[in-house]
Amino acid sequence: MRQAQEKLKSLQKLFHSACVVCGRKNPQGMKLPFQTCKDGSVKARFFCDRLLQGYPGLIHGGMTAAILDGAMMNCLFAHGRIAVTGALAVRFLSPLAVERTVTVRARIKKSISMWHILESELRQGKRILAKGTAKFMECTEYFFKQHERTREERK
């Protein structure tokens, strides 16, 4: 489990340092503290700030989708995989309230070659309020070259 946590942190730092969901260097970001679990999943517990609000008192649906997607990406990081979202589906079961603690969890359901199917869920208390499923495609050499070029341009 420690090795998975090290992979997660290393890939987060390298590829997602400015991510709105998990990036530590994004001053406006959520900086979700993802942790690896014994079963291979990842989870994060966090307080829902009013800045995430859509309708009064409720988390914006787009933020809900971003959190679910971010959890699945961090699950892949924990497994040493670098991928991009190819398809994302979100099922909103009940509104999520702001100013409450939320737990997000994600796990790999299936991997076939360069494709990974993941699922995630958001809970407040014991209730699942939103679920996400996504297909991720592992990054190609082109992605890594573009990433390196962008890093060089920032220097």
Domain boundaries along the sequence of the chain: 2-154
pTM of the predicted model, to two decimals? 0.91
Query: Exposed/middle/buried for 55, CB within 10 Å: 0-12, 13-18, 19+?
Result: exposed
Q: What is the pLDDT of residues 9-43, one digit of tens each?
A: 999 998 889 999 999 999 999 999 999 999 999 99
Q: How far apart are CA 138 and CA 135, in angstroms?
A: 10
Class of domain 2-154: alpha beta
pLDDT in tens, the chain (155 residues): 789 999 999 999 988 899 999 999 999 999 999 999 999 999 999 999 999 999 999 999 999 999 999 999 999 999 999 999 999 999 999 999 999 999 999 999 999 989 999 999 999 999 999 999 999 999 877 677 777 777 677 66
What is the phi/psi pair of residue 6, to 5°? -65, -40
CB count, 10 Å around CB of 1? 12
DSSP conformation letters of 19-45: -TTT-TT-TTS-----EE-TTS-EEEE
pLDDT for 154 equals 67
